[in-house]
Amino acid sequence: MTAIRWQSAVDFVALTVAIYLLLRWSREARALRLALSILALRLGAVLTGQLDLLITTWVLDAATVVALLALVVGFQPELRRAVMRLDLPGRAAHERQLPVLAAVAAAALALAKARCGALIVIVQEDSISELVTGGVAVGARVSPELLQAVFQKDSPLHDGAVIVDGDQITQAGVILPFTQRPAPEHYGTRHRAGIGLTERSDAVVLVVSEERGEATLMREGHAEVMADAEALVSALTTETPADSRRTRKAGSATRVPFGLAAASLALSALMWSTTFLLPGKSVRVQTVPVQFTNVPTALTIADQSADSLQVWLRATDFVLGSMNLAGLVARCDLAGAHEGMNVIHLDASVFDVPPGIKVEGLAPHELRVRLVRAPSNTSSIR
């Protein structure tokens, strides 16, 4: 009899969690279609393997490997970012502290006063690597002097954007995506690029206009002109609070989106059932020991016709290769047995086989068991 064992339940839960984590990460990294394609290719390979379509299975396995390589290579920054989030003690260095925001605000207002245009992006939770193009790697700590130097008119990087991630200036001269929505007529290229990025991510963008000498803070597609340094630092602190950032991350990490959870459960059930419930094409002959249960009280087994059985098991090569069948036994119930010779008829129900394995046959089909009275442990006293 095929039973759902606790090992199978653990396997199913582990598969569901793994698929959920993959889908959640891929959604944050905007790689959801690629992740779903990988799962579909893997599911197709399992299904075609069950149907003995060897060439098709080989093609799908190869396509799965190629898709995985594309995911690793194409989304390497997002993978690195996900791994870095696991380093909880080391994340303090990336928390955006007030001195960093104050340095950004001081640089922006100094540039505005000097009528020098600037575009500063402050990265938050969403990755923007797939939204921006070009740029030069910098890897320097944020300082007002460095920001002002980058946006001087004789600088080769002054036309692009500067990316601030944590306390680091990671890139300069970056091109941002333009907004597709109508914008005020006095907005130039920098303003339209700043709005375009904030429409597609949770990044905060600071735009300095050289024509009007003003600093504009943009978030979620909205813009607000900053009057002075105090107002700008206050707005930046509100949008990127260092103390609550960890709380927001922890809260968002523990919140389970229903749609992703349902999709993960459905995909896990489909992959699990395809792997273990479809009939296989391979047959293995296994020698299985006999184990008797519910032996009547005061009786003991004196003789039996066989100590083991031969059982024919059908499954896929994957299941037969991954399952440990050494612990498989044939359990014979002697609850209704009597003293003397008993004939026990055997069928597939005496085997507790894992999911994915079917009992095709067994031999012998019956056992003869002779029960006798158990010897008494008491002795007469003379």
Residue-wise pLDDT for 165-177, tens only, equals 888 888 888 988 8
| Rounded mean pLDDT, 290-316 | 90
Judgement on whether residues 134 and 228 belong to the same structural domain of the protein: yes
Domain housing 173: 97-239
- Interval 32-76: pLDDT, tens: 788 888 888 888 887 887 777 888 889 998 999 998 888 888 776
Please check whether residue 334 lies inside any domain of the structure.
yes
Judgement on whether residues 319 and 366 belong to the same structural domain of the protein: yes
Cβ neighbourhood burial of 202 (10 Å; 0-12, 13-18, 19+): middle
More reliable by pLDDT, 238 or 137: 137
- Residue ending a domain, among 276, 292, 327, is 276
Judgement on whether residues 149 and 265 belong to the same structural domain of the protein: no
Please check whether residue 144 lies inside any domain of the structure.
yes
**Model confidence band, residue 7 (pLDDT cutoffs 50, 70, 90):** low
Long-range (24+ apart) CB contacts under 8 A made by 360-364 are 360/283, 360/312, 360/313, 360/314, 361/311, 361/312, 362/309, 362/310, 362/311, 362/312, 362/330, 363/309, 363/310, 364/305, 364/306, 364/309
**Model confidence band, residue 89 (pLDDT cutoffs 50, 70, 90):** very low
Please check whether residue 1 lies inside any domain of the structure.
no
Please check whether residue 244 lies inside any domain of the structure.
no
Which pTM does this prediction carry? 0.46
Judgement on whether residues 83 and 59 belong to the same structural domain of the protein: yes
For 346, left (φ over 0), alpha (ψ -120 to 50), or beta?
beta
* Per-chain mean pLDDT for the chain: 80
Please check whether residue 192 lies inside any domain of the structure.
yes
Judgement on whether residues 111 and 228 belong to the same structural domain of the protein: yes
Instruction: Annotate 282-299 with b (16+ C-beta within 10 A) or e (fewer).
Output: eebebebebebeebeeeb
Domain CATH code at residue 364: 2.170.120.30
pLDDT at 237: 78
pLDDT at 91: 42
Domain CATH code at residue 158: 3.40.1700.10
Residues 108, 208 contacting (CB under 8 angstroms):
yes
Judgement on whether residues 226 and 342 belong to the same structural domain of the protein: no
- Interval 180-215: pLDDT, tens: 777 777 788 888 888 888 888 888 888 988 888 888
Name which of 296-300, 314-318, 372-376 the model is least confident about. Answer: 314-318
pLDDT at 292: 93
pLDDT at 250: 44
**Model confidence band, residue 81 (pLDDT cutoffs 50, 70, 90):** low
For residue 377, is pLDDT > 70? Answer: no
Name which of 3-12, 150-159, 166-175, 287-296 the model is least confident about. Answer: 3-12
Domain count for the chain, please give it: 3
Residues 367, 14 contacting (CB under 8 angstroms):
no
Judgement on whether residues 145 and 74 belong to the same structural domain of the protein: no
Judgement on whether residues 286 and 272 belong to the same structural domain of the protein: no
Residues 117, 111 contacting (CB under 8 angstroms):
yes
Judgement on whether residues 209 and 288 belong to the same structural domain of the protein: no
Beginning with the edge strand found earlier in the chain, give each strand of the sheet holding 222-226 in spatial order. 133-141, 168-175, 161-165, 118-122, 204-209, 214-219, 222-226
Percent of the chain with pLDDT over 90: 16
- Interval 201-256: pLDDT, tens: 888 888 988 888 888 888 887 888 887 777 877 887 776 654 444 444 444 444 55
Please check whether residue 355 lies inside any domain of the structure.
yes
More reliable by pLDDT, 33 or 302: 302
pLDDT at 28: 65
Judgement on whether residues 68 and 17 belong to the same structural domain of the protein: yes
pLDDT at 300: 93
For residue 2, is pLDDT > 50? Answer: no
* Cα–Cα distance, 313 to 361 (Å, whole number): 7
* Cα–Cα distance, 83 to 256 (Å, whole number): 20
Judgement on whether residues 142 and 233 belong to the same structural domain of the protein: yes
Judgement on whether residues 129 and 163 belong to the same structural domain of the protein: yes
Tokens (6 digits) for 188: 């130039």
**Model confidence band, residue 278 (pLDDT cutoffs 50, 70, 90):** low
Please check whether residue 137 lies inside any domain of the structure.
yes
Please check whether residue 212 lies inside any domain of the structure.
yes
For every residue of 143-157, DSSP letters joined together read -HHHHHHHTSTTSTT
